[in-house]
Amino acid sequence: MSSPHLQLPLSRRGFLMASAGAGAALGLAALPAEAAPAEAAARSRPFGRYGSPAARLTPKTLYVDGQGRGDHTTVQAAVRAATTAGHTLVIAPGVYRETVSAGVVDPATGQRTEAAAEMTWIGASENPRDVVIVYDNAAGTKKPDGSGTYGTTGSATTLIRTDGFTARWITFANDWLRADHPEITGTQAVAIKVLGDRSAFHHCRFLGHQDTLYADSFALSVFARQYYAHCYVEGDVDFVFGRGTAVYENCHFRTLNRTDLSSAPYGFVFAPSTAGANPLGYLVLRSRISSAAPDAYYKLARPWVPSSDTTARPSLTVRNTWLGPGIDAVAPYTNMSDAFPWQNQRFAEYRNTGPGAEITAPANRPQLTDEQAESATRAAYLGDWTPWKGER
């Protein structure tokens, strides 16, 4: 999303351990160093308990392995092979440096097809550090064919344009860095853009700087439901943004340090752009927000009202969540544009804890009443879709 006055520096290099299955290094020191699968076991059983091409779990299970032990060596090749709905991709440990687009859009009509609907991607080791899908395009990166730059959406490492998508134990990342490209001013660099309804992510990681996780929908009139459980998201500027109806439960959001700015704010965690007709935007519950930056150097949110939809009324409720000292407790919200004050949007909190949740200026911390909080639940946001059932 556009933010021309903010410049993104190198706050930490993302990153890669090139050796597949070695526990991808797109991680933060703040996270515990989870052990990668034993090297010998990874060699003999790259797909863990999920079968293999010789012992396929179902006819619609496809195996991805960069070392050539699966059906395909890239994620995108496996997605192209999933020509009917209901496929599962089992992805062996490795760093997959590629862009991936799931879901097909008819270029003549702009309408999506259902060929890739109800697709599931599984990180075979069940550790998201081991399976990394990463690329390094930014909004201002020039396209190889000379037709211009990628733009924010085009910068996405992974693009999900289908309904019924599920991912488990995968890292989605964009490791583009401003320090490497001082000539580029379009610094948005999306790790994943999600458009489809009923999109669920369990135990996944989303790594980047600006515009890391783009939780969106296909159109203003489409209220795409998304669910993120036990996920980790990091960034600095508007790094969770878009107009989707999204629930973030038991997630960890981490704000990065910056070296190019000498004063606050360094950035903003959430930047919803909820359509005015949509009663529900982002709901964050039972989560935590930590920081690698100095205390109070980050805002919790600012509203994004795109030029393409000036009727948007961004919606964000953060409840029962721990807000670390990195969040400015006195003024946690700010404007992206003074024409659309945050006070006119749908921002609210409820029973948050931590130093960043301290209410020192009540006018700056809109709170739900107990009665209002009864409607701020995952069931209210997601309706008859219950992606948390049966998950561990």
The mean per-residue pLDDT over the stretch 244-268 comes to: 96
pLDDT band per the 50, 70, 90 thresholds, residue 113: low
Q: Is the pLDDT of residue 29 over 80?
A: no
pLDDT band per the 50, 70, 90 thresholds, residue 16: very low
The mean per-residue pLDDT over the stretch 296-316 comes to: 97
Number of other CB atoms surrounding residue 117 within 10 Å? 21
Q: Is the pLDDT of residue 19 over 70?
A: no
Q: What is the pLDDT of residues 345-388, one digit of tens each?
A: 999 999 999 999 999 999 999 999 999 999 999 999 999 999 99
- Which pLDDT score, from 0 to 100, does residue 111 have? 59
Measured CA to CA, the distance from residue 125 to residue 101 in angstroms comes to: 23
> Please, are residues 133 and 158 in contact by the beta-carbon 8 Å criterion?
yes
Q: Is the pLDDT of residue 6 over 80?
A: no
Q: Distance from CA of residue 290 to its chain's centroid? A: 16
- Which pLDDT score, from 0 to 100, does residue 39 have? 55
Q: What is the mean pLDDT of the chain?
A: 89
Give the three-class secondary structure for 334. Answer: coil
The mean per-residue pLDDT over the stretch 185-210 comes to: 97
pLDDT band per the 50, 70, 90 thresholds, residue 260: confident
Q: Is the pLDDT of residue 126 over 70?
A: yes
- Which pLDDT score, from 0 to 100, does residue 224 have? 95
Q: Is the pLDDT of residue 17 over 80?
A: no
- Which pLDDT score, from 0 to 100, does residue 390 have? 78
Q: What is the pLDDT of residues 47-74, one digit of tens each?
A: 999 999 999 999 999 999 999 999 999 9
Q: What is the pLDDT of residues 156-184, one digit of tens each?
A: 999 999 999 999 999 999 999 988 999 99
Q: Is the pLDDT of residue 32 over 50?
A: no
Going by C-beta distance under 8 Å and a sequence separation of 6 or more, which residues neighbour residue 255?
234, 235, 236, 266, 267, 269, 289, 290, 291, 292, 293, 297, 298, 326
Buried b (16+ CB within 10 A) or exposed e, 125-147: bbbbbbbbbbbbbbbbbeeeeee
172 sits in which H/E element: strand 171-174
Choose the weakest-confidence range: 34-43, 265-274, 357-366: 34-43
pLDDT band per the 50, 70, 90 thresholds, residue 116: confident
The mean per-residue pLDDT over the stretch 313-333 comes to: 98
User: For residue 328, what are its two tokens?
Assistant: 């400015």
- DSSP3 helix / strand / coil % (the chain, rounded to 5): 10, 30, 60
- Which pLDDT score, from 0 to 100, does residue 22 have? 35
Measured CA to CA, the distance from residue 50 to residue 382 in angstroms comes to: 29
- Which pLDDT score, from 0 to 100, does residue 151 have? 96
Q: Is the pLDDT of residue 23 over 70?
A: no
Query: Percent of the chain at pLDDT above 90?
Result: 82
The mean per-residue pLDDT over the stretch 108-118 comes to: 68
- Which pLDDT score, from 0 to 100, does residue 79 have? 94
- Which pLDDT score, from 0 to 100, does residue 15 have? 47
Going by C-beta distance under 8 Å and a sequence separation of 6 or more, which residues neighbour residue 141?
149, 150, 155, 176, 181, 184, 186
pLDDT band per the 50, 70, 90 thresholds, residue 108: low
Query: Percent of the chain at pLDDT above 70?
Result: 86
The mean per-residue pLDDT over the stretch 216-223 comes to: 92
The mean per-residue pLDDT over the stretch 230-236 comes to: 98
- Which pLDDT score, from 0 to 100, does residue 44 have? 75
- Which pLDDT score, from 0 to 100, does residue 18 have? 34
